[in-house]
Amino acid sequence: MMETLNLENNIQYLKGVGPTKAALLNNLGIYTIKDLIEYYPRAYEDRTKLKKINEFIDGEYALFIADVARDAKLQRIRKNLAIINTIVTDETGNCKMTWFNQKYIKERLKEGNRYLFYGKVIFEYGRPCIESATIYDVSQIDKIQGIYPIYSLTAGITQNYLFKLMSNAYENKPLVQDIFNDEFRKVHNLCEINYAMQNVHFPKTFKAVEIARRRLIFEELFLFQLALMVIKNSGLGIEKENKYENVDITPFLELLPFSLTNAQLRVIEEIRKDLTSNKLMNRLVQGDVGCGKTMVAAVAIYMAVKNGYQAALMAPTTILANQHYEELSNYFSKLGIKTEIITSSTTKKNKERIVELLKKKEIDVIIGTHSLIEDNIEFSNLGLVITDEQHRFGVKQRMKLTNKGNQVDTLVMTATPIPRTLAIMLYGDLDLSIIDEMPPGRTPVKTYAITDNLEARLNNFLKKHIDEGRQVYVVCPLVEENEELDLKSVESLYEKYKNEFFKSYKVEFLHGKMKNKEKDEIMQRFKNNETNILISTTVIEVGISVSNATVMVIENADRFGLAALHQLRGRVGRGAYESFCILKSNNKSLKARERLKIMEKSNNGFDIAEKDLELRGPGDFFGIRQSGLPEFKLANLLKDINVLKDAQSVAKEIINTDPNLTTKENSVLKRTLIEKFGEQINNITT
């Protein structure tokens, strides 16, 4: 009997890999055999039909057998460009074939040789042509004809190579343990896991693809829902040992230079109710940029501290953590509440001091970044955890902080406008509060979409505002996933602004690759109005508050999602001055103009998110990183909403009968959750 492949084996030892390729595969998140076979195709090519040349359709791919009609010719066009040309023929017609720089191909393309070809047909002057077709020996037809999976790639890894690796892995029959038993699968109409895995990579029919995908998507969404419910459950039904005394918040409110909005007060009451009840709080506060979520957090912290607890506020960036620290410690210090901050730029010595003080409960409130979840940070009695801009953190990170206390109330805050139905589905573990009102005196940001031919006028407009004492942000788009290029585009934009348009002004730039300390200094200078124009990537996207900045210019605005544009726009209009957002874009397509028009017309993040969804479709909308939704391997939260609903109701059933997954029947599920979401699930369920 052949031994089955150990799924945990390093990918390096699979036939056809080795150290060099392994490093490249790592870039795709593939480290083990299991990672490989769980690397699912993003699409499929239909190569089921073998075509004749006279059946070719312009723009479509074709798989066909043909003879080389004459020896291929090699032409050297430039130093780096060689073209190989030939004609191939079958009994129905001829097709022109071209390849670039693949000189070795020439030897194979001798008159009379017969091959199996696959490529995209383009008609030129009514005649079919194919560039860079793949060439196979005719004998390979059984392997090639069929449905062909398409994988997402990285440099140095081709489709054919990945396909080959999958085949190599499957030669050894990798066996995955099914987390669902026969009966469960039958009831919920799911195929067996190994059938699903095999057919997602090597399907014989599109029906098989559908069956396989449904099973895998169901599993992903089901486990996700189950994890959320277990987490939520952990706070349910458990009597809090010490519920909160009611706290009079007037001493805090009296320090503020403004009164809170009705929406803020309403949400504070919802929080008060949670805290004084005998169950743990698990609440999401959703509210558009600038609605004043920080003050709501501050009041919650005040209530916790007055009840003798320590509180932690976690923000996604150092800049934001600093900003919270400055604002809150200012108020808290006047009330005898001790506040400190820990970020990656905190010195080692300072950190050691804070760690000691936290343990001794000589600090009441700690504000910080991810640094707060490090293992050496311990509390004396942590009672409240708040995560700001929740969408930047995963469930795991939030739980890690929560687990530093015994019974911790949690509040999470976000400005991401996720349509409500979806929010409830996704944050199923949370109660929802919405701040749907802006502080008074805010004039909506006036938004204009313009093209580059108005650049000179725009620059005069900016100068006018700066001369009146105001400040300007210029944001340039993130070049996808490529920090090197990001940097370049910020720097070249900076050069343009600094050396061409605004010679006598103070211009600075900021990007994600800078050291935190440098970023903070640049931000600080901008806050102090020592800089007139700040050019930046979207690192300024979240939360920064400089009320003297009144104009936001967004370059290549069409490259952003509307939700992101709205977030960015929220950086201005934060003070008494009239504010402007200028969307620059030379994209003349109707769709692009239409999207930017939405920004001109609406100032409501939720409306904008929904319209964007309509225009772009769910793929793009949820494709953006800013959406902060969990990354699924196959599931698409909007397209697969029906599977999501199924998965949710099945998860609910299980949790209702076995809330902590303690029965033998559910032990596999529990183990899987722990593997996927970490030890915290274990802590909760035992």
Select the binding partner of residue 295 from Mg ion, ligand ADP, none (C-beta < 5 to 8 A, by kind): ligand ADP
Place of tokens 């990579």: 201
**Does residue 543 belong to the site contacting Mg ion (CB under 5 A)?**
yes
Q: What is the 3-state secondary structure (H, E, C) of 434-455?
A: EECCCCCCCCCCEEEEECHHHH
**Does residue 292 belong to the site contacting Mg ion (CB under 5 A)?**
no
Task: Pick the closest to residue 507 from 548, 535, 483, 486 (CA basis).
Answer: 535
Select the binding partner of residue 72 from ligand ADP, Mg ion, none (C-beta < 5 to 8 A, by kind): none
CB of 386 to Mg ion, least distance (A): 11
CA distance 345 to 684: 33
Select the binding partner of residue 214 from Mg ion, ligand ADP, none (C-beta < 5 to 8 A, by kind): none
> Is 300 within 8 Å of 327 (Cβ atoms)?
no
CB of 324 to Mg ion, least distance (A): 8
Distance of CA 663 to the CA centre of its chain: 35
Give the total of residues touching Mg ion (CB under 5 A): 1
Q: Is 457 exposed, middle or buried (0-12, 13-18, 19+ CB in 10 A)?
A: exposed
Using alpha carbons, list the distances in angstroms from residue 44 to 149, 560, 640: 4, 28, 18
530: helix, coil or strand? Answer: coil
- For Mg ion, which residue has the nearest CB? 543
Which residues here bind ligand ADP, judged by CB under 6 A?
258, 260-261, 264, 287, 289-295, 415, 439, 543, 545, 574
CB of 469 to ligand ADP, least distance (A): 18
**With respect to ligand ADP, which residue has the nearer C-beta, 198 or 390?**
390
CB of 323 to Mg ion, least distance (A): 9
Q: Backbone dihedral region of 605: left (phi > 0), alpha (psi from -120 to 50 degrees) or beta? A: alpha
Select the binding partner of residue 562 from ligand ADP, Mg ion, none (C-beta < 5 to 8 A, by kind): none
Select the binding partner of residue 685 from ligand ADP, Mg ion, none (C-beta < 5 to 8 A, by kind): none
CA distance 486 to 480: 8
> Is 225 within 8 Å of 428 (Cβ atoms)?
yes
> Is 198 within 8 Å of 172 (Cβ atoms)?
no
Select the binding partner of residue 286 from ligand ADP, Mg ion, none (C-beta < 5 to 8 A, by kind): none
**Does residue 149 belong to the site contacting Mg ion (CB under 5 A)?**
no
CB of 627 to ligand ADP, least distance (A): 17
CB of 611 to ligand ADP, least distance (A): 21
Contacts of residue 558, Cβ cutoff 8 Å, sequence gap at least 6: 585, 587, 592, 595, 596
CB of 51 to ligand ADP, least distance (A): 57
**With respect to ligand ADP, which residue has the nearer C-beta, 414 or 532?**
414
**With respect to ligand ADP, which residue has the nearer C-beta, 165 or 562?**
562
**With respect to ligand ADP, which residue has the nearer C-beta, 33 or 542?**
542
Select the binding partner of residue 553 from Mg ion, ligand ADP, none (C-beta < 5 to 8 A, by kind): none
Contacts of residue 389, Cβ cutoff 8 Å, sequence gap at least 6: 315, 316, 320, 413, 414, 415, 416, 542, 543
Tell me the backbone φ, ψ of residue 50, rounded to 5 degrees. -90, 120
Stretch in the footprint of Mg ion (CB under 5 A) among 219-227, 373-381, 540-548, 663-671:
540-548
Distance of CA 201 to the CA centre of its chain: 25
**With respect to ligand ADP, which residue has the nearer C-beta, 289 or 490?**
289
CB of 475 to ligand ADP, least distance (A): 17
Place of tokens 């359709």: 57
- For ligand ADP, which residue has the nearest CB? 292
Which DSSP helix (H) or strand (E) runs through 339?
strand 339-342
Task: Pick the closest to residue 516 from 643, 630, 681, 370 (CA basis).
Answer: 370
Select the binding partner of residue 260 from ligand ADP, Mg ion, none (C-beta < 5 to 8 A, by kind): ligand ADP
Site residues for Mg ion per CB under 5 A:
543
